[in-house]
A and B are shown apart, each in its own frame.
Chain A
Amino acid sequence: QVQLVESGGGVVQPGRSLRLSCAASGFTFNTYALHWVRQAPGKGLEWVAVISYDGINKYYADSVKGRFTISRDNSKNTLYLQMTSLRPEDTAVYYCARAHGGGYLSALDVWGKGTTVIVSS
C-alpha cells in the first residue's frame, strides 16, 4: 500500500526551528520527486518546496526561501523539511506529497494525512 506519513509538527515560538519528517512506504522511494504543501487554518493550499528523486534539485516558494530546507534520505525512505526562523504565518497543516510519474513537474498523486505546525508565543 502506497503511503506517506508525516510527523514532527507541534507548537513552537516565533523565531524557533522545527523539522518535519515524511516516511514513505509501498513504492520505490528513490525514483520519485517529493513535495511539501501547506494549508493555513481555513485557507487554501500553498505549495512550499520540492526535491528531485536524487536530492540534487530543490525549489522553494518565495514565502519560505532562505528559511526552509527540503532534504531526503533515500536509504531511509524519508523526506524532511527543516524550518527555521518560524513566523506566525507559517502556522498550517503540512502535507508531503508524491510527484505523479516521478518527475517533479507533475501533479501530486499521493498525499500524507498532514502534520500540524502552530507558531505562537
Chain B
Amino acid sequence: DIQMTQSPSTLSASVGDRVSITCRASQSISSWLAWYQQKPGKAPKLLIHKASSLESGVPSRFSGSGSGTEFTLTISSLQPDDFATYYCQQYNSYWTFGQGTKVEIK
C-alpha cells in the first residue's frame, strides 16, 4: 500500500503570506496526485489534479508541483477564505489520502 505523509500537520499564517504544504509518497506515484481543500462541516473540494493541473474555477493563487515521491501545494498570497484543512491524495495505485494540514490564522 502507498502511504502519504503531509507536513506540517498545522500551519499558522497571516493573510497575504505565501504558504507551502508538502506531501510525500512512500513510493513513486509519477504525477498521479490531487490536492483538496476542506472546511468544517463541508465536503472536500478538488483544487489540483495530476500534481499541477488547476481545477476549473480554482483561484490561480493555488499551485501544485512535484513528481515521483515529493509534492508541494503553494498558496501564493493567503486569503481569508483559504483557512481550511488541505489533503493530498494519490491515485497511482488505489487511492490514499494524506493525514491533512490545517491552515489556521496566526
Contact = CB atoms under 8 A, between A and B. Distances in A.
Interface of A: 35, 37, 44-47, 50, 59, 61-62, 95, 100, 105-109, 111-114
B62 to A, nearest CB: 14
Contact of A46 (B1, B49, B97): B97
Interface of B: 1, 32, 34, 36, 38, 42-46, 49-50, 55, 87, 89, 91-92, 94-100
Contacts of B44: 37, 45, 95, 108, 111
B87 A45 contact: yes
A44 B97 contact: yes
Contacts of A35: 95
B43 A113 contact: yes
A44 B100 contact: yes
19 contacts: A44-B87, A44-B99, A45-B36, A45-B38, A45-B87, A45-B97, A47-B89, A47-B94, A47-B97, A59-B94, A95-B43, A105-B32, A105-B91, A107-B50, A107-B89, A108-B36, A108-B46, A111-B44, A111-B45
Given A107-B34, A107-B89, A114-B43, A47 B49 contact: no
B67 to A, nearest CB: 15
Contacts of A100: 34, 46, 49
Nearest to B100: A44
Given A61-B94, A111-B45, 15 more contacts: A37-B44, A44-B87, A45-B89, A47-B94, A47-B95, A62-B1, A105-B92, A106-B91, A107-B49, A107-B89, A107-B91, A108-B36, A108-B44, A111-B44, A113-B43
